[in-house]
Amino acid sequence: MPNQPLNILCISRFFKGGDFMRSAKAEGNNVFLLTSKQLEHSDWPWESIDETFYMVEDENGFWNHDHLIGGLAHKMRNTKFDVFAALDDFDVEHVAYLREYFRIPGMGETTARYFRDKLAMRIKAQTEGVPVPAFTALFHDADIHRFTQNVPAPWLVKPRMQASAAGIKKIHNEVQLWEHLDYLGGERHEYLMEKFAPGAVYHVDALTTEGNVVFSRVSQYLDTPFEVAHGGGIFRSATLESGSEDDVALRKLNEDVMRAFGMKYSASHTEFIKCNEDGKYYFLETASRVGGAHLAEMVESASGINLWAEWAKIESAACRGKKYTLPKTRDGHAGIIVSLCRFEHPDTSVFNDKEIVWRMNKKFHIGLIVQSKSRNKINQLLESYVEKVRDEFHASAPAKEKLVGEKGKS
């Protein structure tokens, strides 16, 4: 269907992906949105959306699966969808199921599991020779005990299906471990445990088409997601110097992960750690979507590449049997700082450096992106901002150790 408009269904239970929809529409396609009823008044790019469908969430944030299948089946009597696009982590598995159920091309359930389930991705990575921290499933008591005897504490107990650092618990000894597993009760199989390996944490934001990574940008978390969620840190990230030792190594490792996991066409956000103890890089986790926390805006500020927009172009090209061409990139630097804020509408005018290219517009949040040709300048600005944000704006919420429902509601 080289010249006909595609019917692209964008599925998201969170308010995100506006640039994906705008780009898909600009490619000459029909764009449909399936989202939660509670988001119907959000600022979606309505000018780019041809039709919208809503699902009502239950008390745990779930959609009724039978109603979803039935509703789509009814719509497909007169609309043949060409693409199902999952715009958020929490939609990846469900959209993979929908693709297989309705026989829509794209990532199926097995591959989607590698980009969603932290246990599945670790097992797959280890099988394919990608280095990972020592880990164990929490199914079998003897396996858990064997792990504690062979891998020195501390350890991290992590939910298999959550995003970011939600639900992670640091464990210091075996007594504390079994107490925590008792606390998790019948939900412990939804978690895994791995060695706690302090180090620098990086993320690689990338685009893949025809099984090849055609764009990637490596950045470093200046406060790790774990420190932000559990230690009162303030979220910061900055791009690395292109061609540096870390940049080259992590781009290559990211390509190895995408190849091992069978990525064909998508954006991806993948995290690695450089262990302080041995100086080696280890794979932590990946997701077949654009990175959250406005990292896409940071990447665009540094490179000129809008990950959302280019992902939509990749989907269109793949469905039409055409070759995708990446736009020209630039080799700049950018950094981001984001925090919960004690004010509903913070006044950010105290930050007035010319390098500021983006300001967050969200209630009880503060965020800035800075852009420069110099990475040192980016780091200097972020260091100066973090103290001011902490002293004058920052608010924090306690991290949860046990999560109920796939959105982390309790």
Provide the residue ranges of all domains of the chain, joining segments of one domain with +: 7-106, 134-195, 199-392
Task: Please check the confidence at residue 308 and state whether its pLDDT lies above 50.
Answer: yes
pLDDT at 357: 98
Task: Please check the confidence at residue 143 and state whether its pLDDT lies above 90.
Answer: yes
The pLDDT tens digits of the residues spanning 350-383 come to 999 999 999 999 999 999 999 999 999 999 999 9
> Looking at domain 199-392, does it have CATH number 3.30.470.20?
yes
d(CA 323, CA 299): 23
**Tell me, which fold does domain 7-106 have in CATH?**
Rossmann fold (3.40.50)
Nearest Cα to Cα of residue 205 among 131, 295, 121: 295
pLDDT at 405: 45
Task: Please check the confidence at residue 44 and state whether its pLDDT lies above 50.
Answer: yes
Q: How confident is residue 406, by pLDDT bands cut at 50, 70 and 90?
A: very low
Tell me what the pLDDT averaged over the chain comes to: 94
Q: How confident is residue 410, by pLDDT bands cut at 50, 70 and 90?
A: very low
Count other Cβ atoms within 10 Å, centred on residue 60: 12
What is the three-class DSSP state of 58? coil
Task: Please check the confidence at residue 148 and state whether its pLDDT lies above 70.
Answer: yes
The pLDDT tens digits of the residues spanning 99-114 come to 999 999 999 999 999 9
pLDDT at 399: 58
Q: How confident is residue 408, by pLDDT bands cut at 50, 70 and 90?
A: very low
Angle at Cα 376 formed by Cα 214 and Cα 277, nearest 5°?
75
**Tell me, which fold does domain 134-195 have in CATH?**
Dna Ligase; domain 1 (3.30.1490)
d(CA 347, CA 150): 52
What is the three-class DSSP state of 354? coil
**366, 339 contact by CB (below 8 A):** yes
Task: Please check the confidence at residue 151 and state whether its pLDDT lies above 60.
Answer: yes
- Rounded to two decimals, the pTM is 0.93
pLDDT at 400: 58
Q: Which amino acid is at 138?
A: L
Q: For 117-139, what is the mean pLDDT? A: 98
Nearest Cα to Cα of residue 271 among 371, 147, 133, 387: 133
pLDDT at 404: 47
